[in-house]
Structure 1
């Protein structure tokens, strides 16, 4: 029986290896090569939440990567997918993704597709959803503070998890607990009940604000505002599926224009979400 972890591409052979902490320096080298801003610490965070494979040639040079993140027994997300242009042209990207799909079992799947990988995911049976816009830049201004917003406290975490599950369509407990550990947070509390939250943590070239979950666009702006103000003059990023309205207007006014897009995709059944708890900014593109 042929070894499914090896493939001959042109005149050299590729091996699929499990991603381990020891592989992170090579993966960081790979992501820098395709223009990603991820630090080695960001790769380490991904590995705490999921598993995956990376492709190397005979002398150990990295050529591709892919990970999957279990969210629930019946749901997983795919991410951290990188293939060099040379491999995309020769089918190695599909070979790598088929190995990842074999590991996810019968779970429903979701991901964010780059322009380069979009056609591959369509061929693998994924359906197309809305685009996500990557807003980033050096903060030049900050929206006015909203008196309803206060700093998040540890005793808010239970309410935040429940709110996030309503917005996300599943309880991503492990990922959210890790983000809470790494982040500063804000909440809106009305009538003794938490109705929105936002997190901000170190990522890439600076910081990222997300998730931001709120009942209305105005609440999303209010929750993000303290984090934007705290990083005036520094690099900040937010990823959002919003294309207009108060939240996007705030991003543009604060010096965070749209930089790039990815496409939301899924395979299986889409998750129902609560319109009273909307995601205005993602945690990141790999985990949604």
Structure 2
């Protein structure tokens, strides 16, 4: 079992204090060092070589919302990565664990994942793993949690917004945080603040109170819709519809843990492919990841 250690974490724009370490990985002498903006081009190439859809700007957004580690050789070529997205209240999401395919059997991914979990300093760390990696993370001491369902594809249906949805205003942020914290049992202000600059955000009100919100941003081949948090499933559908209404013909993606109910039926009606190929894995004291009011994830990496 990986025992998270009490080390500095990132909050807002603060960065993890990280002392570079040298590792011998196969024939490579690699330095594990803090991820920085100068690594973005190389990280984009790294994720592309393993078939991930992340654009350079998606990596930049991740770097705004979390902290990372890169494994670089003497020529400053990036061979691996891992990231941590610290929440408040002792929780953290871990993601973007990638090793160059040439080093797939070298143990590099193991080293990076362990380093990210330990550096998070969190007793409630988790990550969303592809089904093929579940045994790998169980070998690191992680426990299997809920399944994540990825709905994606070109949107071919016409949608019309049908509820009084409005654009997010700065004064809504505290209520948005409150709703999100109810869903995650943790303060994700650093993650949400980082997403504000790149997202279209909608809210729904009832009796003058914000009772739900949803975000949309460019990602990969098109758009990702999430997070979506709402008190009612019908509100989640209304929020998603508002953000999808002008995306016919565009590639869209929505990740959810919901397996039934009005929101799941709505997703099923969109004609998108449903891929149940991701599982949440937890380290240490199991966090409460999501709740009935959390309808869509912000991303696999950030939770």
TM-score (norm 1): 0.89
- Give the equivalent residue in structure 2 for 1:190: 206
- Asked if 1:199 corresponds to 2:215, the answer is yes
Partner of 2:264: 248
Aligned to 1:182, the other structure's residue is in SS state coil
Change (3 A) 1:144 1:180: same
Find 1:171's aligned residue among 177, 187, 190.
187
Q: 1:222 aligns with which of 238, 247, 250?
A: 238
Question: Is this contact kept in 2: 1:126–1:266, CA < 8 A?
Answer: yes
Given the superposition, is the C-alpha separation of residues 4 and 171 from structure 1 closer, same or farther in structure 2, using an over 3 Å criterion?
closer
Aligned to 1:39: 55
CA distance in 2 between counterparts of 1:192 and 1:171 reads 24
- CA separation in 1, counterparts of 2:178 and 2:172? 10
For 1:40 and 1:254, how far apart are their aligned partners in 2?
A: 28
- The equivalent position to 1:22 in structure 2, one of 38, 41, 49, is 38
Q: How many residues align?
A: 285
| Alignment CA distance shift 1:159-1:124 (3 Å) | same
Summarize deviations over 1:142-168 as a string: whole Å, max 9, x none: 444332433333332221111111111
Partner secondary structure for residue 131 of structure 2: coil
> What is the Cα deviation at residue 273 of structure 1?
7.6
Alpha-carbon distance, 1:105 to partner: 2.5
Instruction: Write the distance in 2 (CA, Å) between the matches of 1:251 and 1:173.
Output: 27
Q: Is the 8 A contact 2:20 2:34 kept in 1?
A: no
Contact 2:141 2:283 in 1 (8 A): yes
Q: Distance in 1 between matches of 2:131 and 2:79?
A: 18
Output the aligned Cα RMSD: 2.3
Shift in alpha-carbon separation, 1:118–1:83, aligned structure 2, 3 A:
farther
C-alpha distance in 1 between matches for 2:57 and 2:27: 34
Gaps of 5+ in 1: none
TM normalised by structure 2 equals: 0.85
Residue of structure 2 aligned with 1:265, choices 281, 288, 292: 281
- The question of whether the paired residues in 1 share the 8 Å contact of 2:86 and 2:92 is answered with yes
Report how far residue 124 of structure 1 moved. 1.9
Q: Deviations over 1:245-279 (max 9, x none)?
A: 3323322322322246211111233345896x611
Distance 1:90 1:116, change over 3 A: farther
Deviation at 1:232, TM superposition (A): 1.2
